[in-house]
Amino acid sequence: METKGKVLLVGNDFEIHSKGYNLFKQTEKIGFINDKKYALLSQFKFTRRFFRAEITGVFELHDGGIMAIAKKGLFKSLPVGGNFKKVFTILRGSKPLNLCVLPNGHIFFGEYFQNIEKEAVNIYVSVDNGESWQGVYTFPKGNINHVHGLFYDKYTQRVWVLTGDRENECIIGYTDDEFQTFYQVLRGGQEYRSCQLFFYKDFIVYATDSQYLENEIRRINRDTFEIISLAKIQGSAIKGGQTGDVAYLATTIEPSKVNKDRFSHIWVTKDGQHWQEVIKAKKDCWPAIFQFSTFEFPQNAYHNGKLWFSGRALKGLDNESSYIEI
């Protein structure tokens, strides 16, 4: 096992990782997120965790640039490298949970914010490698709480959308024309509340994300939309990813009367059907206001037989990365 800051993207013979708001490719610094306020807060554990001042995702773009998700914004570097400029300011909430980059280079994300007033929620798109952004779809006021993620399905060329959080706000749906139309496949309560989708030829897998019920990994039949349970898991599944047929997720420790386990667990499958737990780590002693405890994954986390991960609010692993051989 190795530790080298927070790994955010794994490539052929390299990893991109962060230390504060600085980004490195192996040992070479490749850029800096140009936001002085949160860059300063990111340098100290107390302020980083309390203000969520961190880089949570890095994505390769079709023009050779890199897009980073950080506090209150999306930031982009040029193909030649250098500091990251802000290309989108997050006005509501802290940051989206993910970006969805399509084969044609178009980039999508959905708004993620507390939304106490049940305001309308937007999905945005960039068609010029992140240089500019436009609203492409809006969930009307009172319809949902926020967007949990957008995911590209290579088998159907659809973009799937997950929403939450309360009863009748949880949607699993898709668009096959970049949001000229949107279809709600499943809608209801906590049984459809999810943050992760995994795609296979004949079925789709999702994991539930609920503090109100025992969480599961579930399979959706593509033809009939029949759902069966594949495994019970110890907590909400917020973080995850997929590389080829290998999918992985982590359980999150959050306040719950149902899910009381004090460990975050990583579950892995190589075929979508058979899941196994491969590692766990205990929550640290900090209260939940300083972030919920979980494992997190970089883009392309599974590479050359290794599954990379980092820890958030986990004992001995906070803001550090390692890997296990799968």
pLDDT at residue 312, rounded to an integer: 97
Domain for residue 30, yes or no? no
Domain for residue 120, yes or no? no
pLDDT tens figures, 181-226: 999 999 999 999 999 999 999 999 999 999 999 999 999 999 999 9
pLDDT tens figures, 275-289: 999 999 999 999 999
Share of the chain above pLDDT 90, in %: 94
Q: In the chain, count H helices and then E strands.
A: 2, 28
Domain for residue 241, yes or no? yes
Contact 294, 236 (CB under 8 A): no
pLDDT tens figures, 104-158: 999 999 999 999 999 999 999 999 999 999 999 999 999 999 999 999 999 999 9
Q: Specify the number of domains making up the chain.
A: 1
Domain for residue 237, yes or no? yes
pLDDT at residue 5, rounded to an integer: 84
By CB atoms closer than 10 A (0-12, 13-18, 19+), residue 102 is middle
C-alpha span between 262 and 287 (Å, rounded): 12
Task: Write down the pTM of the prediction.
Answer: 0.95
Residue 82 pLDDT greater than 80, yes or no: no
pLDDT at residue 78, rounded to an integer: 80
Give 169's pLDDT tier (boundaries 50, 70, 90). Answer: very high
Q: Which domain holds residue 299?
A: 231-326
Domain for residue 236, yes or no? yes
Cis ω before 284 (30° cut-off from 0): no
Tally Cβ neighbours within 10 Å of residue 166.
Answer: 13
Give 4's pLDDT tier (boundaries 50, 70, 90). Answer: low
C-alpha span between 62 and 129 (Å, rounded): 7
In the three-class reduction of DSSP (H, G, I as helix; E, B as strand; rest coil), residue 165 is classed as coil
Domain for residue 128, yes or no? no
pLDDT tens figures, 293-326: 999 999 999 999 999 999 999 999 999 999 999 9
Domain for residue 305, yes or no? yes
Contact 143, 99 (CB under 8 A): no
By CB atoms closer than 10 A (0-12, 13-18, 19+), residue 126 is buried
Domain for residue 320, yes or no? yes
